[in-house]
Amino acid sequence: MSDSDFDTNTNADKVPRQAEIDSLLRQSMSAPVPRLSPDFHQILSRKLRRRSQPPNRFGPILLTAYAAVSAVVSIVVMRGQGLGWMAIAVMTIGPLATLELARRLRRRQSGTVAR
């Protein structure tokens, strides 16, 4: 058996379909080319400036407070489980050091891409 035995579309079916596609293409090509308004760049810049401003100034403060409280609670729980101060320090500072390393690597990569 060949592939043509399973082909349900015959040449007779393809011809009207091709004519429909051609007609649709001609119709879409005859339409006017869309254009941006003359002040598009000004409007876009204004909206982007608005978005780039922080939504509120308390967000970073709340995030820092949450991090501090969670660190204190984690330290109290780990100490209550009998862990030594060295293990607690490693488990608390380790993720922070990893985060800072990732930030620096990302900053370095974005700096080389921009050049």
Show pLDDT as tens, one digit a residue, over the chain (115 residues).
555 555 555 566 667 789 899 988 888 888 888 888 899 999 888 888 776 666 677 888 888 899 899 999 999 999 999 999 999 999 989 988 998 999 899 888 877 654 4
Helix (H, G, I), strand (E, B) or coil at 89: helix
What's the length of the chain?
115
Sequence-separated contacts (24+) of 63-72 with Cβ below 8 Å: none
What is the DSSP annotation of 23-84?
A: HHHHHHHHSPPP---TTHHHHHHHHHHHHHS-S-THHHHHHHHHHHHHHHHHHHHHHHTT--
pTM: 0.43
